[in-house]
A and B are shown apart, each in its own frame.
Chain A
Amino acid sequence: MNKQKLPFSLLIVPLLLLPSCGGKKTEVSEQPSEAPSGAQPTPIDQSTVAAITGKVVFQGVKPKLARIMMDQDPVCVQKHSGAVYPEDGEMNSNGTLPNVFVYVKEGAEKYTFSAPTDPVVLDQNGCVYKPHVLGIQVGQDLHIISSDPTTHNIHPMPKNNREWNESQGPGAAPLEKKFARSEIMIPVKCNQHPWMRAYVGVTKNPFFSVTGSDGTFTIKGLPPGDYTIEAWTATYGTQEQKVTVGSKETKTLDFTFKPS
């Protein structure tokens, strides 16, 4: 009766092989990356580079922001001594705006840049993203760390890059991510603490800056030429200005936003 016994083992072989077959079938083909793979970075004469600096002013009364309610997760509440307010729409005491992403929108296409080797770090601390707005180059490492003894999930919601959504428990290893294509701006959310929001600006060049508590920005290392500079805000829209910089020049460029 060997004939009868044979089929069983042979039936099982394809079944065991099945996962590997299935794997090939469903491989997701990523859209082509804009990361400069193999392409040589354009040499830039560092002795001629220019800079653009300026500040972002807000014209209007300080907007009223509702306190963030963190009642659902006591861990978040304990990390703060007082009330916490949203950073979107926030105004500095000197009448300027923080968290404005200022970058070269046009004019740098002819240069190719390799991604810096040092990573950009996004921290989750007190159930708030630090920093609120950050810039990163295509292909550069983004390290997401958590300083909170609670679980977060990191959920970037891009239009031009791959969407992902991963949990990060207390003490878990940093998530190491990259963005394959440029995109202004990718909102990042934690669904477990829905108020948490960060914005990531992904650019092909290193010419970007984020305003801080003094409302100023500085873009360095620009080769002389014509550029379009855009200032992006989460609440008050965007503005752009055209500028021409000469060799070793430092241009000043201010932006003024009004309540939307």
Chain B
Amino acid sequence: MALAIAVVVALITVISVAIVVLKVWWMPLDISTHGPAIDHQMNLTLIFTGIIFILAQLGLAWFVWKYRDRGDGRKAIYSHGHGMLEATWTAMAAVLFIGLNLMGYRMWAEMYFRGAPPDALRVQVLGQQFAWYFRYPGPDGQFGPTHVEKVNDASGNFYGIDRERDPGSKDDIVTATLAVPVNRPVELVLLAKDVTHDFYVRELRIQQDMVPGMQIPVHFTATKTGRFEIACNQLCGLGHYKMRAFLEVMSEEDFQKWLQNMAAQQ
């Protein structure tokens, strides 16, 4: 029995480590300027916790095997503990855990405490059951106000903007795809129309809840062109699993063309 359980624990350890080392399931491509720091922190955490994982599991397996009752009359060691030893591993755990955390703090600050640069492209993101709509301010750089009573999904007024009354809304462009230019800072303002949604682009290493009644800014700079999935990552109702849109990162030139094309369709 001792052998069986030791082998099981050791096997679980080896297989788990192999899955990580062989990168069987690994993080997707990173297309953001802040992403490499997060990936680095993730790898660092994997290494530290991996070492503890291997030591603890194999230690457990070894103890189970070594100290089994062999019926040879050996007596167990009579010990109530070892103060120094306990103090040592307490201190080690504290230093490691808190240290790891402090290292990750800088990225968090970068993402949230520092705002987007003033020249960033600003886009409003609206989440609703179960779709995304994106609003560009148009040439005037202004987002007009929204009116609850003007909202009409069937006629395409998802935001409730009034182009006739509000000058700021006149040239606003509402789309169902989020296109952004590559290598240019982008600030998204996240809004929710009905329930809480969550803006998640794995390749951007960005995830942020969209909370009704709040306007939550996030900012990023995309470094690679391509088409990436925007997934809702907060349970929002029966169509949650289908709530998605696409992020298209394009060259500045393509982006301007796309924006003009969209403006013509409003």
Contact = CB atoms under 8 A, between A and B. Distances in A.
Question: A and B: direct contact (Cβ < 8 Å)?
Answer: yes
By CB atoms of chain A within 10 A, which of B130, B177, B246 has the most? Answer: B130
Contact of A72 (B153, B157, B158, B245): B245
A153 B238 CA distance: 8
B156 A70 contact: no
21 contacts: A65-B156, A68-B156, A69-B156, A69-B177, A72-B132, A72-B246, A86-B156, A88-B152, A89-B155, A151-B239, A151-B242, A153-B238, A191-B238, A192-B130, A192-B239, A192-B242, A193-B131, A194-B131, A197-B153, A197-B154, A235-B155
Nearest to B262: A69
A195 interface: yes
A217 B238 CA distance: 38
B174 to A, nearest CB: 8
Given A70-B176, A71-B176, A194-B153, A153 B239 contact: yes
A83 B261 CA distance: 13
B176 to A, nearest CB: 4
Contact of B266 (A66, A83, A167): A66
Contact of B154 (A70, A71, A195): A195
A193 B128 CA distance: 11
A191 B241 CA distance: 12
A151 B265 CA distance: 27
Interface of B: 128-132, 152-158, 175-177, 237-239, 242-246, 265-266
Given A88-B154, A193-B131, A197-B153, A69 B175 contact: yes
Interface string A142-180: 000000000101000000000001010000000000000
A204 B233 CA distance: 45
Given A65-B155, A67-B156, A71-B245, 9 more contacts: A69-B156, A71-B177, A72-B131, A72-B246, A89-B155, A153-B239, A191-B129, A194-B153, A194-B158
- The interface residues of chain A, by DSSP majority, are classed as loop
B97 to A, nearest CB: 42
A69 B261 CA distance: 13
Max count, chain B CB within 10 A of own CB: residue among A68, A88, A151, A194: A194
B245 to A, nearest CB: 5
A189 interface: yes
A195 B244 CA distance: 15
Interface string A231-249: 0001100000000000000
A189 B238 CA distance: 13
Contacts of A234: 154
B193 to A, nearest CB: 10
A86 B155 contact: yes
Contacts of B129: 191, 194
Interface in A69-86: 69-73, 83, 86
Contact of A167 (B176, B238, B244): B238
A151 B155 CA distance: 22
Interface in A30-62: none
Contacts of B176: 69-72
A165 B157 CA distance: 23
A72 B245 CA distance: 5
Contacts of B239: 151, 153, 167, 191-192
A189 B130 CA distance: 12
